[in-house]
Amino acid sequence: MKITIEFFGTARYDYGLPSVELNWPNQEMNLGKLWERLQDQFPHTTSGLRSSAAPPYLVNLDGQRFITDPATPIQAGQHVLIMSPDAGG
């Protein structure tokens, strides 16, 4: 299955690209597994994601809702938006 991840704000700067498509074997995907995959692919950026009490990024699923629970399922074809929690002004 294919999942599109888009990076916004400082996440785009940190990852060095606006988006990436991940191909995932035909098995269950969730937010926790996504973070593990990103850590494997971008170790310089995601090293503290799973151990941090306050995650450095907000995660939105399909522009509809924010997700934080690592067990949240992610389905084929969904768009995951990763952005910084900074407020502008």
- Encoding tokens for residue 33? 């597994």
Instruction: Delimit the domains of the chain by residue range.
Output: 2-83
Contact assessment for residue 24 and residue 68, using Cβ atoms and an 8 Å cutoff: no
pTM (predicted TM-score):
0.82
Residue 44's SS3 state is: helix
Q: Name the superfamily (CATH) of residues 2-83.
A: Beta-grasp domain (3.10.20.30)
6-37: per-residue pLDDT in tens? 999 888 888 899 999 998 887 789 999 998 88
30-72: per-residue pLDDT in tens? 999 998 888 888 887 754 455 454 567 899 999 999 999 999 9
